[in-house]
Amino acid sequence: MIWHTLLRIGFRLLYNELAWTYDLVSWVVSLGAWREWQLASLSFVKGTTVLEIAHGPGHMLLAMKRAGFEVTGLDLSAYMSQQARHHLQKANLSLPLLRGAAQALPLADNTFDTVLTTFPTDFVLESATLTAVFRVLKPNGRFVVMPSGYLTGNNFIHRSIEWLYAITGQRQTAVTHWEPISQRFTAAGFSVSIHNITLENSIALVIVAQK
């Protein structure tokens, strides 16, 4: 219980007042694989119009914009919105950025071909979130969720980081716990497939929920 409490406090700070440290923290806890894990979800993004919810510092917004998608971003954190705007401006790119909650998307029905989220917190499994995402997706649209990646290297550092994930309960959530939870997506009207993407010294987990 104490680990979960500390993690929640840490995540709240990381996504808000300490958002400026997000890139560094994500690099450290993944030994630099974080962006590779995120990009593993890109091949599952289909269609033309894409909404990224909980976009964080905006790296996937940039990747999708550069890949030719019509992208809209939404995040509840004003701090993350600032980070995303900074990265977009630095790249001389622009796209709509909205402030709001995934549970009550301020967007019209049947608008997007794909909704994407990478490394989301528990909000992604709330029935209100799944209902809202289902509503804004076009017929046959898809909700792509990249909840985690995990290291497979056998050296001491890789094993140590995976041990830290395990004792804080994050490995159960990322690997074992996600498959049965796919029933929540099914209950919201989605058909679900789970993909383990093998990368160098790591595996990225991607869930695709089809409307």
User: φ and ψ at 129, to 5 degrees?
Assistant: -65, -50
Residue 11, both tokens? 């995540």
Please list, in sequence order, all residues whose beta carbon lies within 8 angstroms of the beta carbon of residue 118, skipping any fewer than 6 positions away. 37, 38, 41, 56, 60, 145, 146
CA distances from 191 to 27, 29, 142 (A): 33, 32, 9
Q: Which helix (H) or strand (E) holds 34?
A: helix 34-39
More confident residue, 21 or 129: 129
Instruction: Give me the pLDDT at residue 169, please.
Output: 46
CB 30 within 8 A of CB 200: no
Lowest mean pLDDT among 68-72, 100-104, 154-158: 154-158
* Of 127, 124, 126, 128, the residue nearest 143 (C-alpha): 124
pTM: 0.80
Residue 11 has pLDDT above 90, yes or no: no
User: φ and ψ at 93, to 5 degrees?
Assistant: -125, 155
Residue 174 has pLDDT above 50, yes or no: no
Residue 160, both tokens? 């140590």
Instruction: Give me the pLDDT at residue 25, please.
Output: 63
CB 71 within 8 A of CB 52: yes
Residue 153, both tokens? 């290297």
Boundaries of every domain in the chain: 2-210
As a whole number of angstroms, the distance between CA 79 and CA 142 comes to: 28
CB 137 within 8 A of CB 109: no
Residues in the chain: 211
pLDDT tens across 90-136, in order?
999 999 999 999 999 999 999 999 999 998 888 999 999 999 999 99
Instruction: Give me the pLDDT at residue 148, please.
Output: 82
Q: What integer is the mean pLDDT of 20-36?
A: 67
More confident residue, 60 or 163: 60
pLDDT tens across 181-191, in order?
788 999 999 99
DSSP bridge pairs for 144: 116, 208
Lowest mean pLDDT among 51-60, 97-106, 175-184, 196-205: 175-184
pLDDT tens across 33-53, in order?
778 899 999 999 999 999 999
- With bands split at pLDDT 50, 70 and 90, how would you rate the model's confidence at 167? very low
Which stretches within 168-207 are classed as H helix?
Answer: 170-171, 178-187
Instruction: Give me the pLDDT at residue 202, please.
Output: 83
The full 3-state SS of 50-107, as one line of letters, equals EEEECCCCCHHHHHHHHCCCEEEEEECCHHHHHHHHHHHHHCCCCCCEEECCHHHCCC
In this structure, CATH architecture of domain 2-210: 3-Layer(aba) Sandwich (3.40)
* Of 32, 36, 31, 29, the residue nearest 59 (C-alpha): 36
